[in-house]
Chains A and B, each alone.
Chain A
Amino acid sequence: GAGVSQTPSNKVTEKGKYVELRCDPISGHTALYWYRQSLGQGPEFLIYFQGTGAADDSGLPNDRFFAVRPEGSVSTLKIQRTERGDSAVYLCASSPGTSGRTDTQYFGPGTRLTVL
């Protein structure tokens, strides 16, 4: 079946602009995670959704970052007033959500964001 998909695969923007990154999880997965990964580092947790609600958004670095999942499927990560330090690969992962915290996370290919 189809895996996690993310669009766009690459996004180049200018400092100060607004960007939206989209994640399509595996069909039926209720849990959805956003991470960002800088070169040579591990994924850094941003936010976790269970269904439509953000169960844990403690990883969002500041109020320029916001994520939604209005129908419990597709999620959008929104970044306002982008800064050069926001440049990274943004990864989305989903899991069935039926086994609580032990679920395997299935990652998408990521969106490479470059802020000039």
Chain B
Amino acid sequence: GQSLEQPSEVTAVEGAIVQINCTYQTSGFYGLSWYQQHDGGAPTFLSYNALDGLEETGRFSSFLSRSDSYGYLLLQELQMKDSASYFCAVLTGGFKTIFGAGTRLFVKA
């Protein structure tokens, strides 16, 4: 089967750094994406990794290791508005994107 594993919840304080891990097992792999979703809102794209290594976009960075079937999202200088659900998603063979169940991030003052 196809599966993505990520922690269900993470809590951190404002200004801190948090890492959300994702391991995957899929048939076919083109890349790993990360999406943010606030309660009641639509998922919004954060980053995409097709090759091994780190991609940095402002306060957010994403890492991929294809050999380990593993990636993570790193959020720096946490702000209250970062409280949301974060989904890793694998672009598989064909045109299907498989999403993880999501990690709820709680940022405390």
Contact = CB atoms under 8 A, between A and B. Distances in A.
Interface of A: 4, 33, 35, 40-45, 48, 50, 55-56, 58-59, 91, 93, 101-102, 104-110
Given A43-B89, A101-B30, A107-B43, 10 more contacts: A42-B4, A45-B99, A48-B95, A55-B95, A59-B96, A93-B43, A102-B30, A102-B31, A102-B50, A104-B45
Interface residues of B, number: 23
A106 B45 contact: yes
A102 B102 contact: no
Contacts of B58: none
Nearest to B96: A45
A105 B87 contact: no
A7 to B, nearest CB: 14
Most buried by A among B95, B97, B98, B99: B95
Contacts of A107: 42-44
B22 to A, nearest CB: 11
B41 interface: yes
B94 interface: yes
A91 B89 contact: no
